[in-house]
A = this chain, B = another copy of it.
């Protein structure tokens, strides 16, 4: 079995060496074997795992979630059901977030549309709209 030093792994996976040590500390990758002088030695398995981590991180999973997930994946039994639940749960999260963002989009669009064509006038309808609890209070 071929073994690689941290720098090679970093280059292959396109991550920082420090990131790999960080994943090591966090227990996201299995403990490497070491040379007599203490250098870390990793196998292809770790390359796959790092790429896996990066891929699902892009899907919006946090490292904590990934950690849990990998724990599940490493167990072999029931792992499929757990994975399924995990993905379903995350999907739910993402959908909620999208709805939230769309709400924000609406509000911003609304604010934008309040602006007349002549943009350099003194009263700002945007500020007024946001400050609508101020309405008839003091102006100083």
Q: How many copies does the complex hold?
A: 2
For the residues of A in contact with B, the DSSP-based class is: helix
Task: Let me know if A15 is at the binding interface, CB within 8 A.
Answer: no
Residues of chain B with a CB closer than 8 A to A109's CB: 91
Instruction: Decide yes or no: A138 and B45 within 8 Å by CB, A81-B120, A94-B104, A104-B94 being known contacts.
Output: yes
Residues of chain B with a CB closer than 8 A to A84's CB: 112, 115, 119, 126
Distance in angstroms between the alpha carbons of A119 and B94 in the assembled complex: 22
Contact of A87 among B52, B56, B108 (CB under 8 A): B108
Chain A interface residue count: which class? 35 or more
Binary flags per residue of A103-129, CB closer than 8 Å to B gives 1, else 0: 011011101100100011111111100
Distance in angstroms between the alpha carbons of A137 and B51 in the assembled complex: 14
Task: Let me know if A73 is at the binding interface, CB within 8 A.
Answer: yes
- Report yes or no: B134 in contact with A48, Cβ–Cβ below 8 A: yes
> Measured between C-beta atoms, what is the minimum distance from A6 to chain B in Å?
20
Given contacts A84-B126, A94-B108, 11 further A-B pairs with CB under 8 A are: A48-B133, A52-B131, A59-B108, A60-B101, A76-B122, A78-B120, A80-B119, A81-B120, A83-B124, A94-B104, A98-B98
Rank and list the top 5 A-B pairs by shortest CB-CB distance, nearest first.
A80-B124, A91-B108, A81-B119, A83-B126, A98-B101
The 10 listed contacts between A and B (C-beta, < 8 Å) are: A45-B138, A48-B133, A60-B101, A80-B125, A80-B127, A84-B112, A88-B112, A94-B101, A97-B101, A98-B105
